[in-house]
Amino acid sequence: MASDQSGPYQVAVGQVQRVGGMLGLDQGMIDLLSRPKRELTVNFPVTMDDGTIKVFTGFRVQHNFARGPCKGGIRYHPALTLDEVRALAMWMTWKCATVGLPYGGAKGGVICDPKRMSPGELERMTRRYASEIMPIIGPHVDIPAPDMYTNAQVMAWIMDTYSMNVGYSVPGIVTGKPIPLGGSKGREEATSRGLMYCVREAMAVEGLKRAGATAVVQGFGNVGWNAARLLKDELGLTITALSDSSGAILDKAGLDPVSVYEHKQRTGSVLGYPGATEISNEDLLEMECTVLVPAAMENAITSANADRVKARIVAEGANGPTTPEADLVLDEKGIMLIPDVLCNAGGVTVSYFEWVQDLQFHFWSNAQIRDRLNEIMTYAFARVYATAGAKEVDMRTAAYLLAVGEVVQATKLRGIYP
């Protein structure tokens, strides 16, 4: 079994091996599911604002095509590794299968520090990266989307670069685009809205009343701040603590996520918010609360701190925020963990909606988006929860049993070519 010190890909492979054994899969099938189908590494030059040339390294990994074209985000981060991208691509396969989307998983990114780059440098780097991975992406092959430190503008540049190369507009090449370019309504809050629906269902099955319930959110990027807003506005939870990379703030009487977001936009940090007490990110994770939302980086909850987590529900807004060893501790404590492959699948679900709309050139209303997302997330939660009960396993294992089973079934039905 993978440990807290394992790399993300080692963790992902360990999960497949464990679930494969539970499903009685032969070693050949486990090996097939444990390895990416295709991975591309590109090294490419970009002219910087000062006239110098800098060489960047980028990746695009496609894990599995059994259930349809690949789908997955592109992240820009100085510490990005191929190992991480492989793991994220594999997790995307299981995420899509968990919520019933006709996709396999992919992931990509560039090793860079976007905070130290100008808009012009980001655009030139993005367009060159898009050109480098263009041979293996396409609206029926692999559809990128935003991820860490990428956004709708980055997707617009990729869409334009691809379209200019083929000679006509291809809005379906990426999702998470601006609405004027074929983006979908509801996409910006989609991951958080899906998380909120999962929390709503989890509180119901756990018999937890919303009145007096509290939530703590680690990470105040797009997922974290929207999750805090929706948990407060639509479920009525009191948000007692929030954090970003600079630190955390606490107000047991309740924080207003919108006001904190506006403060962060002005100052660059949640710290210094009027009336709040500053605490550490470590203290935030260990606060007593109804719902804890880790929505920052991987490995936030480990064997070192899992026994001090006091939440009733852990809703994974980030990918891989809980290590395998911590999973065991939380399960022993009776804490319900809503795994990332279910909890944050709202983003890829609305990306699927966007892709369908782009292929049809027919667009849906915000109400239609929310209704369809609610239906898919509610059904997926019920299915995972029922499997957890029937198999007497935790929610993550239940989700993996369902997801891996779906991919195996598709693989066997298609057969091995030639």
Beta bridge partners of 241: 216, 250
How confident is the model at residue 45, as a pLDDT? 98
Q: Is 31 exposed, middle or buried (0-12, 13-18, 19+ CB in 10 A)?
A: middle
How confident is the model at residue 309, as a pLDDT? 97
How confident is the model at residue 1, as a pLDDT? 52
- Residue 107 annotated among the catalytic residues of the structure: yes
How confident is the model at residue 255, as a pLDDT? 97
Domains of the chain (ranges; CATH) run 36-170 (3.40.50.10860), 190-343 (3.40.50.720)
- Whether the link from the prior residue into 321 is cis, omega within 30° of 0, is no
For tokens 């309740």, what's the residue?
254
Catalytic residue chosen out of the listed positions 71, 95, 107, 232: 107
For the chain, the straight-line distance linking the first and the last C-alpha, in angstroms and rounded, comes to 35
How confident is the model at residue 297, as a pLDDT? 80
Helix (H) or strand (E) holding 405: helix 395-414
How confident is the model at residue 174, as a pLDDT? 98
Torsion sign (Cα): 287, 202, 85, 129: negative
Q: Which two tokens stand for residue 218?
A: 């680690």
Q: Using 50 as the pLDDT threshold, list the residues of the chain that sit under it.
A: none
Give 231-276 as a DSSP string: HHHTT--EEEEEEETTEEEE-TT---HHHHHHHHHHHSSSTT-TTP
Beta bridge partners of 138: 142
Q: Which two tokens stand for residue 192?
A: 């958080």
How confident is the model at residue 71, as a pLDDT? 98
Nearest to 377 by CA among 161, 194, 193: 194
